[in-house]
Amino acid sequence: MVITLSIFLLAGAEILAQTNETASAKDEKKALKQAQKLRKRLLKGADFHQLAEKFSDDPGSAQYGGELGSVQ
């Protein structure tokens, strides 16, 4: 299961909460719960980029605050 919170303006950004194919139901539930907590924080005004750096499972975009680069 892959759960992604995304914001797309002129460039994409993500916070990836990911499990793999062999993940247990418990691990999938944990990833979903984490995504739901992050969503609530974002709706309350938390900084997306700071959350992405701290919580994203995508090391490539996490180091850039969730930025994926330009969308073409």
Q: What is the pLDDT of residue 45?
A: 92
- Write down the mean pLDDT value for the chain: 80
H/E stretch holding 43: helix 25-43
**pLDDT digits 0-9 by tens, 6-39:** 654 445 677 777 777 888 889 888 888 888 898 8
pLDDT of residue 9: 47
The pLDDT of residue 10: 46
Nearest to 19 by CA among 4, 36, 39, 37: 4
Which sequence spans correspond to the domains of the chain? 2-70
- Decide: pTM greater than 0.85: no
